[in-house]
Structure 1
């Protein structure tokens, strides 16, 4: 009898854990849809409705919008940083930096520019901000590419990584205001950056 009770008791927590994992995955999938559609106008309550769960379920897993956002973009940020590590060996330091900044701008445009707006926040060391680690990883990647461009390319020594990312975030935001202008990011980068940024190549060119 004791064994049967033990099995029942141990089965309930396992089912609860499985339900919690399934709910969390459903919330993340719904959040990506809602943020992509509505950007900064999205709310956790709207995510809960899309995921077909109660608001309490969303808040239990993600107490703030930033906590939810960082869970969505953590993998994306790692991929952007990995791309930066690859480009750190590019034969032309200016080109490597320019390519990465263009890819970072595309990343910042995700979710209707919501990520760009969140990453534009000034993060104080140790303030516990949910996006601080993502922000720090991106700044470190930009810094590595920037230092290389300063040493062997054309970037002025006074440019620093946080300011450069603020600039590209602003370019990403501007591109969101003109979604039909597909070349706007490239043009603004070419105007803004003294790092060998070039205009986009005509279609079909090598």
Structure 2
């Protein structure tokens, strides 16, 4: 005899609310954010949080899973969006915004024995590869642009704005500058 379906659904809703609340709290306060604040924002008690996540690292990994899945789902949607180059840039903005709001999530998980089936770097790289390949086929990006170039660009922008109070806005401005081009060429006249 298994758990009652309603109880399972309630438990899943609580878990989803905890991950969403943790994501928001981490974006504001970093990975050492108060677990009590996470529970409060999720509308559950501390015991419920600890029933779902036995450690801070387990909760942080769930947040990372959720964010990476969201980025990959966006990439899948953008594979059929009009304008492959624009779709790639839209996704890069999301990647950089993700990095700007993770605030040390990766280093906080150092040494944590995570789920071996979950490889965020591989998942992000594959999403970038598919979007870039489509943009190459369309001819909307430089033909010599590689997946490594695109991911280094996103990483570089993320690192450049990491300690700024308005990191997401600054990152967005830098992506615009890079994608629009730094130099303006005179119109043929």
TM-score interval, smaller chain: 0.5 to 0.7
Aligned pair in 2 of structure 1 residues 63, 174: CA closer, same or farther (>3 Å)? closer
Q: What 5-or-longer segments of structure 2 have no aligned partner?
A: 183-189
CA deviation after TM superposition for structure 1 residue 175, in Å: 2.6
CA distance in 1, matches of 2:35, 2:168: 31
Q: What 5-or-longer segments of structure 1 have no aligned partner?
A: 1-9, 122-126, 201-206
CA deviation after TM superposition for structure 1 residue 21, in Å: 3.5
Q: What pairs up with 1:96-107 in 2 under 5 angstroms?
A: 96-107=87-98
Q: Could you state the TM-score of these two structures normalised by the residue count of structure 2?
A: 0.62
Greater relative contact order structure (CA < 8 Å, 6+ sep): 2
| Contact 2:20–2:63 (Cα < 8 Å) also in 1 | no
**1:118 is matched with which residue?**
106
Greater C-alpha radius of gyration:
1
**1:42 is matched with which residue?**
33
2:22 aligned with 1:31, yes or no?
yes
Q: What pairs up with 1:123-142 in 2 under 5 angstroms?
A: 128-129=115-116, 131-132=118-119, 134-142=120-128
Pick from 75, 79, 96 the counterpart of residue 73 of structure 2: 79
**1:143 is matched with which residue?**
129
Q: Secondary structure at the match of 1:137?
A: helix
2:180 aligned with 1:198, yes or no?
yes
2:155 aligned with 1:169, yes or no?
yes
Alignment: residue pair count: 172
| Contact 1:97–1:149 (Cα < 8 Å) also in 2 | yes
CA distance in 2, matches of 1:22, 1:154: 41
| Contact 1:34–1:46 (Cα < 8 Å) also in 2 | yes
Aligned pair in 2 of structure 1 residues 128, 23: CA closer, same or farther (>3 Å)? closer
CA deviation after TM superposition for structure 1 residue 198, in Å: 0.8
CA deviation after TM superposition for structure 1 residue 117, in Å: 5.4
Q: Say what the alpha-carbon RMSD is for the aligned residues.
A: 4.1
